[in-house]
Structure 1
Amino acid sequence: MSPFPELTESDVLRFQFSSCIRSTILRPLSQDFLEFLHSEGVHIPEGSDDLPSQLSDEEDSEDVDSDDEGRRFAFPLLDAQIRECIKTYGAVFPKLNFSSPKDASWILPASSPLKCTSPADVYMLLKSSDFITHDITPASVFDGCAGSADAHPYELELVLRKWYPVDRSRELRCFVRQNTLLGMSQRDTNYYDFLNDPPTRAGIIASVRDFWETNIRPKWETPQDYTFDILLTRDLARGHIVDFNPYAPRTDPLLFTYDDLDVLRLRPDDERTPELRVIDSRAHPLATSNAPANQHNMIPFEALSLSSGRDIDEFAEAWKDGIEESLDS
């Protein structure tokens, strides 16, 4: 049997954030918003950062110069929806249908990564992210699926969740194949001593398996193969779901390989205790070094001149000031 199940378009749509986790979903998104995501450069729409907009609420951004390089965008209705959500939650964390802009977390203060308190913060994260490009077109969303890419309608969505600080040491990615929990992997690639304590490890395995058997397995319909990310509570006894993803090459297996997981699938039933993999020493080959995560996407050329001599909070403020100045020019 292949290490990967056949993935259909309907399977993929099952993993949209709006399909499996309760959140605030903003849709439909305008064609202008899609063009904004495709446009060159990192800039924010007018009026999204509580600055006076040169466009009235009645004007459509299609009436503005259509040349991408000099085009200004404005989304007053979407701004209002985002602001209402921020008013309700206090702060939000944005996603599109499947992907979060976590590779762009550097653009907001490191003390509160991905914490958005204005529409401008949401737009900056999305515009600075490579990860979210996967969600923009049906061709990329359904890449590798059986059947035609036009068989199922696909609509871009902006997902807003209540922001909260996350202790990355308690995040795990868990792998389910043929309705069997095979293993779980530490998501963060730092070394944490407590994760290597044998009684703690046994407790984590038991907590995750109990959570899966109680809250996911009886409610999940199809497909039978999937991954889920879970954030455990401080006492490591409970948890809540962060995300679901397909059991497919597009989902990072982290400290496993999919061949490893296939070996676990073939074990006898009486040996099928899920395996927990963590960074077991600071010398682990995958342990985080001084290089930041997602560094390939961190610094656009125009940001280099702002970064010299500044810490991340100072740089983020200078970056936002530069964008605001460009809007006034």
Structure 2
Amino acid sequence: MYPIFKSTSIKTIIHKLPESFIHYLLGDSGPFLLPLSISNNDALPNRIIKPEDEEDHIISEQHTSDNESNQTPPSSPPSFPELESQINQSIKTLGGAIFPKLNWSSPKDSAWIGTNSSLKCTSFSEIALLLKSSDSLVHALCHAYDSCSDCNIHRPARFFLALRKWYPDLQPEREFRVFIRNNVLVGISQREATTFYPILTEKKHDLEKVTDEFYTDKVSMGFESESYTFDVYVRKDMKVKLLDFNPWCEVTLPLLFTWAELESEQLMREPEFRIVESRRGVRPGLKTAVPYDYLDTSEGSGWDRLFRNADEELRRQTRSAGGC
């Protein structure tokens, strides 16, 4: 879809991934190995033995017992020189830093292991580290269509890696998720629901207006599906940039909505723009390494009890403060 929305999106370069690389990402046998890099300047630990430790390693091998010598040797790190060369060139074209994304998913659950605990990557090896470390990508690689009732396959025939230009100064309070049901905009949600941003209460009307206009003018006639979600970034000058598309199903976080609400007729008649209106409305962290439908938030569940207890504690603290 990027070519269709290129003029309204973040600059992106897309690479088709060889099936051998997909097998590498899904491989779970043997030690954790990063691909051998074609660059001598690669600083990541993608070698089993560091050069400075080579002498000690040779000495230890001389004392290996006969039983140990019969064991299967450790796996050799894989190598994807052509793919690495192409990706590193694309990173250079995009200014030296990118964040990676596969067909539907980015490796957000492995951001902790990346540069500055983010998805910022400056080399092929950094991308491989994030992708290989991500549990959530396994779902995208093996079970992408499990929630689709009209589909009899489990994964796409081909996988693509999108390299998106890294912007270090993007502000999370300016990201929003838009929900489209049967070609009707039914809801807009603040993307980062774990924080209260006062500026959003001041600009709520304007933000809703430009986002709605962006959908009507730029997205509605270009996207093939009838029901889907997409993420946008609203700049300070109120110009809107398209960030991503997501499927209309429970693997996509509904953020300040519930999927029951989004599929109700009420929002078809009266769309809503939801933000965190105060510090009391802050949601717990929603970034998870499993699909959203794996989390049980129904009445009586552990999450339901947690939310109820938190609400009761908040009311207790409010009453105590009022009595001082």
Question: Structure 2-normalised TM-score?
Answer: 0.69
Deviation at 1:149, TM superposition (A): 2.6
2:116 aligned counterpart, secondary structure: coil
- How many Å separate the matches in 2 of 1:48 and 1:164? 27
- How many Å separate the matches in 2 of 1:176 and 1:29? 33
The residue type paired with residue 253 of structure 2 is D
Report percent identity of matched pairs. 34
Match for residue 229 of structure 2 among 227, 230, 234: 227
2:36 alignment partner in structure 1: 46
Match for residue 207 of structure 1 among 200, 206, 210: 210
1:141 alignment partner in structure 2: 144
1:25 alignment partner in structure 2: 14
1:114 alignment partner in structure 2: 119
2:253 alignment partner in structure 1: 252
Contact 1:175–1:181 (8 Å) recurs in 2: yes
Deviation at 1:207, TM superposition (A): 0.8
1:283 aligned counterpart, secondary structure: helix
2:175 alignment partner in structure 1: 171
Report how many residues are paired. 253
- How many Å separate the matches in 1 of 2:109 and 2:121? 15
Deviation at 1:253, TM superposition (A): 0.5
Deviation at 1:25, TM superposition (A): 2.0
- How many Å separate the matches in 2 of 1:246 and 1:206? 24
Contact 2:146–2:154 (8 Å) recurs in 1: no
Deviations 1:189-222 (A, max 9, x none): 211111122xx111111010111111011323x3
CA pair 295-129 structure 1, distance change in 2 beyond 3 A: closer
1:134 aligned counterpart, secondary structure: helix
Contact 1:230–1:239 (8 Å) recurs in 2: yes
- How many Å separate the matches in 1 of 2:226 and 2:287? 31
CA pair 95-20 structure 1, distance change in 2 beyond 3 A: farther
Match for residue 75 of structure 2 among 46, 52, 70: 70
Deviations 1:92-127 (A, max 9, x none): 21111110011211112337x211111111111101
Which 10-residue stretch deviates more, 278-287 or 117-126?
A: 278-287
- How many Å separate the matches in 2 of 1:158 and 1:266? 35
Deviations 1:57-114 (A, max 9, x none): xxxxxxxxxx896331111111101111011012121111110011211112337x21
1:231 aligned counterpart, secondary structure: strand
- How many Å separate the matches in 2 of 1:231 and 1:257? 22
1:35 aligns with 2:41: no
1:229 aligned counterpart, secondary structure: strand
1:81 alignment partner in structure 2: 86
Contact 1:172–1:231 (8 Å) recurs in 2: yes
Please say which structure displays the higher CA radius of gyration: 2
Structure 2's unaligned 5+ residue stretches are 7-11, 48-71, 291-324
1:43 aligned counterpart, secondary structure: coil
2:115 aligned counterpart, secondary structure: coil
